[in-house]
Structure 1
């Protein structure tokens, strides 16, 4: 018994020894395991080269900035010019059509069916329709004026939405509304007002009168010149219902204006005659889309191709500048690379450092380029009197392109830096 007790004290049971050995193995492994860098630490490490070589970094970023700014400017300035051009072309009627009854049946004047306006409104791409009709009435300034003195002025029955469809504006007074269109009131075109001797209307003054057939009508408005419909300038416009009640108008339109979706203007043009007059579509003359529409689409295609080419050249030039800077940076910082490798930094961390520096350098240049491009575009557009347009795709592609250029330009220098061994790097420094 005594020998057993001594043996037990000489060889104690290894209580907890497995746990201690496992901890020692983990501690030994942790000594050889590389330290992981957080994204913040990696960013700070990548900015070291930019902070220590500010002039070189600024010149490299300037190359990217000029490239991106050029892309923004050559995209924004034509876009601003194109928007101003589109407004002018739209004012010329690129999204509008005009239908005219061009032949008579026997002794009856040419006209459309009364329900033609409602039928045209049912066409999907059509946004607005307005009709006018020749009442074949005579207008004079007074009953003492001869009929031949006002020749060339047409009395038209007009709907209340005519100004919206033909882009007309009131020079003075007001236009025919749903309420005033029921009473004996008229609106004069610019030429008709000059021939009838009607000056601009002033608030508070009694409205001038014109004699249509044998009835007096009060002038409540005068139009500006209408480029889309010159015939309106030489017309006296009467409300649709007033023309029916006072002048015996039969509610059959003789001319129709419509505004449709510009992309479907040719399709609307094709179905319009049969829609207006299903029995006699050949009696409906429809104006073709203006040549300005073709010119507008041609400029859009030309600008798009030009933008892509200039953007590619700008990014290529900026990428070459960043790659050159990063290669030189690796050659000059061999001692730093060797020292970091000797202190335990692995190749992956070295690659991450130089790749982060390249991306940060390109991103800084891209952001500066976007700011310069936006300021340049806005300044030039304001000087020319154009509406400033900053294409969002150009800004987004500029920033993303700068980052992509930084990645591509930094791959080779980062790999080259990571392949330097500590001894070779310190020996060559």
Structure 2
């Protein structure tokens, strides 16, 4: 009837049609689609890798912590007066070693060797390296890895032998590569025979960059250390005995000078372990989130360029009846699908990298199961979020202006 209103229904887009349009758009531009998915792939892959390695490294901290920090007790020279006697006498180590649960005990301190006073020969280059007095018992606590020769024993300590042990870096700087020629080192004009070179240590890593002299020799040449030197009696204990030993070590080491010793008990294993693991994981997760953000920006940029290039196509679809939210839904759908593909591939590659690193380091790989299942979904969310702005831009395209181009 003339004058009656026409009943025109607005266009509709079903889920199947929406999915087919998204897939068709992605397949039509495979190169661009691959580059767009690459951003999420890198972000999710990095996220899975760093979280997996953080958990694996935390597991190694758990496995090794009790054997070192939780079994180490230190007693430091804390004399208030320089006139007080040196608290770590010759019998101190012996008495401490008699305590239940003690594995080894030894004293070490920094020697007053200042300036360029160490060299390998009378004509050799002088070096300002650190020099420590280290008792034979302290080597048992340090548990060094000997690269050449050996560390000196209690005989050398007791008889004040003029021998030294060098860290590998110091030996290299002095030009000492072998002990077959019985090399010597001069310290303040006194010659010492090099008996060993170490390149690793379970405790006291500072000795790897120093020259170590027997305790008895150091006392004979330089005298007892001053309170400022802060000599340390370090004790290695059995697992579970450190707290008890820390309460008894002052009375055993210096019964007449208990107030002159400051004891450092072992830290709470769980608290310190959790703190280290949490800090490490937080740092790496922060890095992974930055990578995800960079990937999202890459997707948004690529999708926006694609919208600009498809302006005529979008205008034609609008002219044929497509509504604004149809165009926006397709653009967001394309971004979400690419994000999901990139997330799935990135998750797989990240798991492989964690496994390879763990096997090469002889570690036990620890990968949270929720991370494995959630990472592809993270890719979908990142892709959809990155497509929000391009989708909004595409929905604003007017058919008449688009068709003029």
TM-score where L is the length of structure 2: 0.49
Larger radius of gyration: 1
